[in-house]
């Protein structure tokens, strides 16, 4: 006969074990089904589920995300801790990121001691969050292969991590996230990462071609567009044009909104057999080349046309109070090269049915741009700036020092929306 105290102890262990299985494999907010051909189908309450997602919504922008029809957020690393209360409040699904260290930042995937230490850190994170019903999938790394010269050990380690996650959590899909969709990277994942269920692809600009290209490279399973937004500034097909002095030309917030909508259509709606949805970048503001390039909101929390575009895509209804629209924004001089003290004229056309306030500023061109979204210092603001409205736009006096600059315009409404535009120029 088992003593009463021992019996009580064994009963507690049994209950804990049963609870672990139930939470890890049942009552999930989003369930997944693996089809015979390897593709994944997501469901919520038994109905098909499409990821209408965002990267990094902030406390200021989370309510706007939910109002726009958002249903999932993607995390990269430790931010999951501060996001969990809002995730639970709004019943959002989570693509939970498991951070991988990068070769370009000094990590060596042939250093087995360091690799094993990272492996155990990831295991601990999986064990910590696998019981949360809002966790939809696991994402191993984010662009860890970017600028890496020795990628084979990286891909093999990603596969080893995926096998471990499957042992810890047999229920949820596992992906790894790549920068773009190059043939080499896709074929490497196919060869070295057979435990991966689907691809996460960060891609900016048009999505008209790459969803079909990855099929040509041999990937016939599902994918998620894990980042999308404005055209990239790094050069290449579908990226922003570059001035003669090397400054990328940024789209207006109105043009960006149109691109978000177009990309959603091409990468998600037009690919119903393989696309599980997409995560917009970035559902707040971020300094990356400029303070506006990928920002869907201003630092003050004002939403731009990109948010409006996705609300239309996700709910079928535009917002009652849309962001101002910029129909034209250009420097009247081409190329935009000036001498000290000259006036730079901007031709502007805009539309908004509510009163607007204007804010004009000049900033230095970014002198030390980051790589792969690494932290970056904001460009220096030139103060004071002398400007005035004209009949067809405004004019501003260029700085008194030679250099590369941008003039920024923000059109604001009192109800929390904004339109953004800038143009690079040079002073000689």
Question: How many angstroms separate the CA atoms of 198 and 200, rounded?
Answer: 7
pLDDT in tens, 98-110: 999 999 999 999 9
Condensed to tens digits (0 to 9), the pLDDT of residues 149-189 reads 999 999 999 999 999 999 999 999 999 999 999 999 999 99
Is 2's pLDDT higher than 60?
no
**HEC assignment per residue over 153-195:** HHHHHHHHHHHHHHHHCCCCCEEEEEECCCHHHHHHHHHHCCC
Contacts with 388 (C-beta within 8 Å, 6 or more apart), sequence order = 394, 395
Report the b/e string of 304-327 with b at 16+ CB within 10 A: bbbbbbbbbbbeeeebeebbbbbe
- Confidence band (pLDDT; 50, 70, 90) for 26? low
Report helix, strand or coil for 256: helix
Domain ranges for the chain, please list them.
19-315, 325-427
Q: Which two tokens stand for residue 20?
A: 């672990």
Domain 19-315 matching CATH 3.40.50.300: the answer reads: no
Sheet of 337-338: strands edge to edge?
337-338, 418-427, 403-412, 357-364, 381-382
What's the rounded mean pLDDT across residues 235-261? 95
Each residue of 300-320: pLDDT tens digit? 999 999 999 999 999 999 999
State pTM to two decimals.
Answer: 0.93
CATH, domain range 325-427: 2.60.40.10
Give the model's pLDDT for residue 62.
96
* Rounded percentage of the chain residues whose pLDDT exceeds 70: 94
The half-sphere exposure of 293 on its side-chain side, counting CA atoms within 13 A, is 26
What average pLDDT does the structure give for the chain? Answer: 93
């Amino acid at each position: 006969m088992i003593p009463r105290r021992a019996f009580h102890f064994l009963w507690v262990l049994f209950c804990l074990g049963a609870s672990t299985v139930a939470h890890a494999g049942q009552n999930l907010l989003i369930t997944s089904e693996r089809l015979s051909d390897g593709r994944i189908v997501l469901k919520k309450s038994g109905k098909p589920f499409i990821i209408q997602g965002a990267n990094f919504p902030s406390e200021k922008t989370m309510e706007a995300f939910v109002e726009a029809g958002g249903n999932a957020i993607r995390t990269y690393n430790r931010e999951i801790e501060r996001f969990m209360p809002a995730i639970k409040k709004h019943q959002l699904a989570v693509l939970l990121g498991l951070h991988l260290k990068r070769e370009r930042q000094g990590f060596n995937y042939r250093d087995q001691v360091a690799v094993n230490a990272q492996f155990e850190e990831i295991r601990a994170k999986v064990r910590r969050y696998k019981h949360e019903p809002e966790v939809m999938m696991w994402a191993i790394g984010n662009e860890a292969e970017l600028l890496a010269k020795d990628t084979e050990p990286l891909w093999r380690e990603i596969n080893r991590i995926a096998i471990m996650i499957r042992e810890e959590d047999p229920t949820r899909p596992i992906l790894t996230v790549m920068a773009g969709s190059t043939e080499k990277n896709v074929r490497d994942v196919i060869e070295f990462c057979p435990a991966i269920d689907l691809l996460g692809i960060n891609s900016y600009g048009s999505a008209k071609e790459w969803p079909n290209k990855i099929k040509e490279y041999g990937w016939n399973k599902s994918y998620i567009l894990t980042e999308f937004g404005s055209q990239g500034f790094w050069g290449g097909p579908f990226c922003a044009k570059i001035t003669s002095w090397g400054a990328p030309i940024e789209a207006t917030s109105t043009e960006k909104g149109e691109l978000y909508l177009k990309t959603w259509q091409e990468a998600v709606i037009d690919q119903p057999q393989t696309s599980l949805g997409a995560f917009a970048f970035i559902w707040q503001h971020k300094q990356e080349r400029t303070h506006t390039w990928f920002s869907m909101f201003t630092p003050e929390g004002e939403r731009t046309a990109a948010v409006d575009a996705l609300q239309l895509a996700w709910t079928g209804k535009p917002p009652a109070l849309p962001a101002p629209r910029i129909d034209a924004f250009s420097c009247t001089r081409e190329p935009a090269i000036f001498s000290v003290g000259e006036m730079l004229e901007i031709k502007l056309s805009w539309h908004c049915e509510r009163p607007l306030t204007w804010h004009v500023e000049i900033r230095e061109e970014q002198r030390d741009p980051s790589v792969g979204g690494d932290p970056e210092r904001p460009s220096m603001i030139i103060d004071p700036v002398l400007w005035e409205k004209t009949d067809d736009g405004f004019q501003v006096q260029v700085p008194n020092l030679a250099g590369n600059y941008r003039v920024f315009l923000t059109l604001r409404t009192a109800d929390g929306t904004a339109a953004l535009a800038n143009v690079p120029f040079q002073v000689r």
